[in-house]
Structure 1
Amino acid sequence: MRRRQWLAGEARADGVDRRTLLRLLTAAGVLGTPAAAGLLAPGRASAQAPAAHPPAFGSPRADSPVSGIVKPLPAEWFVPRGTNAEMRWDALRDADGRAVTGRHIPVERFFVRNHTSTPLIDPDRWRLRLFGSGLRGAPPADRAVEFDLDDLRALPATRIGALIECAGNGRSYFTSQQGRTVPGTPWTLGGIGSAQWRGVRLAEVLRRAGLTRGAVDVLPAGLDPEFVAGGVGFGRVRRPLPVAKALDDVLVAYEMNGEPLTPDHGAPVRLVVPGWIGIASIKWVGSIEVADQPLYSPWNTDFYRLFGPDYPADGSAPVTTQVVKCAFELARDAVLAAGRSHRLHGRSWSGAAPVRRVEVSTDGGRRWLPAELRDEPRADNWTRWSIDWRPERPGPYELRARATDRRGNTQPEVAVFNREGYLFDAVVVHPVTVA
Structure 2
Amino acid sequence: MTLVTSRRGFLAGAAVVGGAALAPVSWPAPALARPGLIAKPTPPEWFIDHGSNAEMLWGSVDRASYLTPQSRLFVRNHTKTPTIAAGDYALRVFGDGLATARPEADALSLTLRDLQRLPRHRLTSVLECTGNGRRYYAAQQGETVSGTPWGLGAVGTVRWEGVRLRDVLRAVGLSRDAVSIQAAGLDDPYVNGGVDHGRVRRPFPVAKALDDALLAWGMNGEDLLPDHGYPLRLVLPGWVGIGSIKWLGTLEVSRSELTSPWNTQWYRMTGPQWPADAPALTVNPVRSAWELADDAVLPARPVTLTGRSWSGAGRISQVSVSLDDGASWRPAVLDRRSRQDAGWTQWSVLWGRPRPGTHHLLARATDELGRTQPLRAAVNSQGYFFDAVVRQPVVVA
Fold shared, TM-score > 0.5 on shorter chain: yes
- TM-score normalised according to structure 2 size: 0.90
Percent identity over the alignment is 52
1:254 maps to 2:212:
no
In structure 2, which of residues 108, 115, 120 is the aligned counterpart of residue 145 of structure 1?
108
Residue in 2 that maps onto 1:383: 345
CA offsets 1:210-244 (integer angstroms, 9 cap, x no match): 11101010011000000011111100000001000
Partner of 1:220: 183
For 2:348, the aligned partner's letter is S
Residue 328 in 1 paired to residue 290 in 2? yes
Partner of 2:51: 82
1:292 aligns with 2:255: yes
Q: Is the 2:32–2:42 Cα contact (8 Å) retained in structure 1? A: no
Q: Match for 2:370 among 378, 396, 408?
A: 408
State how far apart, in whole Å, the 1-side matches of 2:236 and 2:136 are: 26
Residue 316 of structure 1, CA deviation: 1.4
SS for the counterpart of 2:207 is: helix
Where do 5+ consecutive residues of structure 1 fail to align?
A: 1-60, 94-98
Equivalences, count? 367
What is the RMSD computed on CA atoms of the aligned residues?
Answer: 1.4
Q: Alpha-carbon deviations, 1:260-290, whole Å to 9, x = none?
A: 1110000000011100000000000011000
Partner amino acid for 1:356?
S
Amino acid at match of 2:234: L
Opposite residue 406 of structure 1, the aligned amino acid is E
Measured after TM superposition, the shift of residue 378 of structure 1 is: 5.7
Relative to structure 2, which stretch is displaced further, 303-312 or 122-131?
303-312
Separation in 1, partners of 2:296, 2:32: 32
What is the aligned partner in structure 2 of residue 393 from structure 1?
Answer: 355
Matched with 1:349 is 310
AA of the residue aligned to 1:70 = A
Task: Name the counterpart of 2:127.
Answer: 164
Q: Residues 67 and 177 from structure 1, CA distance in 2 versus in 1: closer, same or farther, beyond 3 angstroms? A: farther
Asked if the contact 1:352/1:379 (under 8 Å) is kept, the reply is no
CA distance 1:110–1:167, change in 2 (3 Å): same
Which ranges of structure 2 fall in alignment gaps of 5 or more residues? 1-29
* Counterpart-to-counterpart distance in 2, 1:380 and 1:276: 12
CA drift at 1:103:
1.4
Q: CA separation in 1, counterparts of 2:274 and 2:247?
A: 33
Q: 1:355·1:379 contact (CA, 8 Å) conserved in 2?
A: no
CA contact (8 A) 2:36 2:80 kept: yes
Partners in 2 of 1:276 and 1:123 — Cα distance?
Answer: 27
Query: Is 2:383 the partner of 1:424?
Result: no
- Partner in structure 1 of residue 33 of structure 2: 64
- Which residue in the other structure is 2:157 paired with? 194
TM-score, normalised relative to structure 1 = 0.82
The amino acid across from 1:240 in the alignment is P
Asked if 1:361 is matched to 2:316, the reply is: no
Mapped to 1, the partners of 2:297 and 2:246 lie a distance apart of 39
SS in 2 for 1:239: strand
Q: Please tell me the residue identity of whatever aligns with 1:293.
A: S
State the alpha-carbon separation in 2 of the partners of residues 347 and 278 from structure 1.
Answer: 18
Three-state SS of the structure 2 residue aligned to 1:245 is helix
In 1, distance between residues paired with 2:31 and 2:201?
A: 26
Which string of whole-angstrom CA distances, capped at 9 and with x for unpartnered residues, describes residues 337-364 of structure 1?
11x1111000000111211100110100
The CA distance in 2 between the partners of 1:190 and 1:400, in whole Å, is 17
